[in-house]
Structure 1
Amino acid sequence: MIDVKYTRIVFSFFMALLMSGIMSLVITVFNIGWVDNIVSIWLQAWLFAFSVALPTILIISPLVHRLVAIVVKPTP
């Protein structure tokens, strides 16, 4: 198992993996439809999307955590 100190990185990895996969599939199908080679086109798009998503999540997640802390009311 992975040590708990790497939680942020592991979370970011899985979030980037799943979100980039879902979004690249939706956008690919929206743009070109269900063509014969949709899987290979989608996987190529997913690889590119993931390579952008992971560093983006790692960079912006501290900002997002601060924004959430601002807009969420703490429990009494």
Structure 2
Amino acid sequence: MTPEHGHAGSRPHASKAIRLHDTRHTCGSLLAALGVHPRIAMQILRHSKIAVTMEIYPHVPSARHEKAPTGYPRRGL
């Protein structure tokens, strides 16, 4: 392993730089995945409106959503 190339066998400069915005988005996704209430996530992420939080991070279901029924049960058909 050499300092200028990172790990042995890797290409130099093969990885992308991590932007501050990327870390913020990761934080928001983790909060949603952990089931943190959207109002709390809004405060942690410093969003000015709950709508911003709900628009950006609705794609990560919490455990509560995964356990929820997906449809209505059929009745004696």
Does TM, normalized by the shorter one, top 0.5?
no
TM-score, normalised relative to structure 2: 0.29
TM-score, normalised relative to structure 1: 0.29
- Where relative contact order (Cα < 8 A, 6+ residues apart) is larger, the structure is 1
Largest Rg, 1 or 2: 2
The structure carrying a bigger helix percent of its residues is 1
